[in-house]
Copies of this chain bind each other. A is one copy, B any other.
Amino acid sequence: MQALLVDLGAGQIYQEKFDLALGRFLGGRQFVSHWLAQEIDPACDPLGCHNDLVFAPGLLAGTHVSSSNRLSVGGKSPLTGGAKEANAGGVMALHLASNRIGAIILRGKTRPLSLVVIEQSTATIQACPDLEGKGVYDTSQVLRSRFGPDCAFGIIGPAGERSDAMAAIAFSDKDGQPERFAGRGGLGAVMGSKGIKAIVVRKGQGLKATRQLRELAKRVAQVAQANSVITEFFPVVGTAGTLEMVDEVGGLPVRNFRSGRFEWAGRIGGKALRETLLARGGTCGHACMPGCVVRCSNRYVDRDGKHVVGPLEYETIALLGSNLGVGDLDAIARLNRFANDFGVDTIELGGALGVALDCGLGDFGDTERIEELASEIARGTPLGLILAQGAAITGKVFGARRVPVVKGQAMPGYDPRAVKGNGVTYVTSPMGADHTAGNTIGCDVDHADMAGKPELSRNTQLRCALFDSLGLCEFISYAFNDDPEPFLALARLHLGDDVDLPTLLDQGKRTIMNELRFNEACGLGSHTNRLPEFMYTEESPPLGVSWGSPPRAFAGFWQKD
């Protein structure tokens, strides 16, 4: 595998070869975790010149297999101060794989604001002062007209340029829309700190679609299409359909986690979203990458049928909707549009705004005030700059004690008191509060009961770490559960015939262990494996459940591994 090390300070590009054999790394998140553990000084300033920013497609990128083109982005997080891998769909991983590039690493800093352009397997650094301060959508248009439609783009907005801790990186989808986000952990701030506005990757020749590959891709698609969640849930209601489930189990974040059920859940859930989209001529069942059979995405349009944002996803609806007391999809979509264009993570934004409203900076449900707060962020007023640092700093500055974060990162759309499996994930994942590290909401269990949840979370986290390294979307994992064989066969093509499921899952563990070691060296040791204090003492209505486990219960969670 080839990696491009782009030394921005020196203006030099180095090509490095890495051995793909097992025991080294698979790709994607495992490459990131390897790079963190080996190459990044854990004590460095995440926005200083000693942090690196890694873009690594998963191992299976470019294999023409459904949902296999996920991209891992990673580095030391300015939000958590520890290991961060954020994962995005779209076509960047596919384009990198088509150039046979297994990773791009941005090192050091450059000025003025620049692009990293990858064509024919090598990189150039090109100044782009004209893009300074531009939103993600405008930047995408300029880049598309400059470089043409056969390029993938990874773009930061003004938030990233300003190195806001909630800044994200937007990637283009198969239709050229820059709406697939590596959202969490503030990696857009790291990119901005390096002086890079966008990376541009021109499509290469690609992997040859051998008969063997085509057949495996077909088998994966067949297994997937036999799974009812993949055929009847994702393409129909998308991730938004999760809202009704979470509301039902009393785990929806409502008004800064003051309740777990929302009186207007029916207005903003998957069903409402689908009806709105169908009535207005929006799109359900949209795919972010070519050939994806899951098609969980959508494209939200306003009353006039004009594109607002796509996809409107569950986490966004929960954090910018119920968590702010907002029961109006149009208002949520507008705020989502703002977040995408300014280039911030919708979860962290919703977490920060929730804390701010809880501190009296506005009323829950007052969409006008909430949009005003967003505009403060855009204008960079002191209040806006506080919010742009995320929920933890917002809580700190305004003296809040009800701050729903773990390891400095805002919680996604599952109250850990009611969805205990996800709570265990928040508490124990090296990533901090992050549903993508091990989401248990799809499991048929009593979510409010801790029994069995530590094991469930651990297994889910190990599998997620594997999937994030293979580059497989979490949603295709339902098919993997039904029949792992075609996936194993794919892995064997890269890693040798002796690869079996335990070997692969063991790589998930290696990945997490690397991240834990890095975190430990950053000061994010197991003492940070806990929820904010209010969740130990405050019961979440309407179920009346508290977290229940003592603060130190999960300090040794990974030690037995």
Partner-B contacts on A (CB < 8 A):
41-45, 47-50, 162-165, 381-383, 385-386, 389, 393, 396-399, 401, 521-525, 527-528, 530, 532-533, 551-552
Q: Which residues of B contact A385 (CB under 8 A)?
A: 386, 397-398
The interface residues of chain B lying within 8 Å CB-to-CB of A386 are 382, 385-386, 397
Q: Which residue of B lies closest to A78 (CB)?
A: B396
Which residue of B41, B381, B396 contacts A165 across the interface (Cβ within 8 Å)?
B396
Q: Check B389–A396 contact: CB distance below 8 A.
A: yes
Residues of the B chain whose Cβ atoms lie less than 8 Å from the Cβ of A50: 533
How many Å lie between the Cα of A163 and that of B401 in the bound state? 11
Q: List 15 A-B contacts (CB under 8 A).
A: A43-B527, A43-B528, A43-B552, A44-B533, A45-B533, A48-B401, A165-B396, A382-B382, A382-B383, A385-B386, A385-B398, A389-B397, A393-B393, A393-B396, A523-B523
A162 to B398, CA, bound (A): 9
Q: Other CB < 8 Å A-B pairs besides A47-B399, A385-B398, A522-B527, 14 of them?
A: A43-B527, A43-B528, A43-B530, A47-B401, A48-B401, A165-B396, A382-B382, A385-B386, A386-B386, A386-B397, A389-B396, A393-B396, A393-B397, A523-B525
A385 to B359, CA, bound (A): 13
Q: Which residues of chain B are within 8 angstroms of A524 by Cβ–Cβ distance?
A: 523
- Write out the residue numbers on chain B whose beta carbons fall within 8 Å of the beta carbon of A551: 41, 43
Q: Are B42 and A527 in contact (CB under 8 A)?
A: yes
Is there an interface contact between A162 and B399, defined as CB atoms closer than 8 Å?
yes
A396, B165: Cα distance in complex, Å: 9
CB of A290, distance to nearest CB on chain B (Å): 38
Chain B contacts of A41 at CB under 8 A?
Answer: 551
List the B side residues contacting A163 at CB < 8 Å. 399
Most buried by B among A165, A399, A551, A552: A399
A61 to nearest B CB, angstroms? Answer: 34
Query: Top 4 closest A-B pairs, CB basis?
Result: A523-B523, A382-B383, A43-B527, A382-B382
B48, A533: Cβ atoms under 8 Å? yes
A48 CB to nearest B CB, Å:
5
Q: Once bound together, how far apart are the Cα atoms of A528 and B524, in whole Å?
A: 12
A523's nearest neighbour on chain B, judged by CB, is B523
- B533 touching A523, Cβ below 8 Å: no
A498 to B342, CA, bound (A): 70
- For residue A82, which residue of chain B has the nearest CB? B523
A381 to B523 alpha-carbon distance, docked (Å): 32
The chain B residue sitting closest to A526, CB to CB, is: B43
Residues of B within 8 A of A397 (CB): 382, 385-386, 389, 393, 397
Residues of B within 8 A of A401 (CB): 45, 47-48
Cβ contacts under 8 Å, A398 to chain B: 385
| Chain B residue nearest in CB terms to A387 | B382
Residue in B closest to A396 when the chains form the complex, CB atoms: B389
Question: Separation in Å of the A187 CB from the closest CB of chain B?
Answer: 16
Q: Whole-angstrom distance from the CB of A517 to the nearest CB of chain B?
A: 12
In the assembled complex, how far is the CB of residue A190 from the closest CB belonging to chain B, in whole angstroms?
13
Closest partner residue, chain B, to A522 (CB atom): B527
Chain B residue contacts of A533, Cβ below 8 A: 44-45, 48-50
Shortest distance in angstroms between A376's beta carbon and chain B's nearest beta carbon?
9
Q: Which residue of the partner chain, among B382, B521, B552, contacts A381 with CB atoms under 8 Å?
A: B382
Determine how close the nearest CB of chain B comes to the CB of A118; give it in whole angstroms: 28
- CB nearest neighbor in B for A162: B399
Between A382, A383, A530, the greatest number of chain B beta carbons within 10 A of the residue's beta carbon is seen for A382
- What CA separation (Å) do A381 and B44 show in the bound complex? 32
- C-alpha spacing A59/B9, complex, angstroms: 56
CB distance from A391 to the nearest CB of B (A): 14
Chain B, residue nearest A525 (CB): B523
**Nearest chain-B residue to A47 (Cβ)?**
B401
Residues of B within 8 A of A165 (CB): 396
CA distance A401 to B44 in the complex (A): 12
A521 — which chain B residues lie within 8 A by C-beta?
527
Within the complex, the shortest CB–CB distance from A549 to chain B, in Å, comes to: 14
Kindly provide the distance from the CB of A386 to the nearest chain B CB, expressed in whole angstroms. 6
| Complex CA–CA separation, A50 to B528 (angstroms) | 15
In this complex, the member of A43, A49, A50 whose beta carbon has the largest number of chain B beta carbons within 10 angstroms is A43
Closest partner residue, chain B, to A189 (CB atom): B399
- Bound Cα distance from A524 to B524, whole angstroms: 9
Residues of B within 8 A of A532 (CB): 45
Complex CA distance for A441 and B224, rounded to whole angstroms: 72
- How far is A162 from B45 in the complex, measured between Cα atoms in Å? 29
A14-B327 Cα distance, complex, nearest whole Å: 51
Task: Give the distance in Å from the alpha carbon of A399 to the alpha carbon of B165 in the complex.
Answer: 9
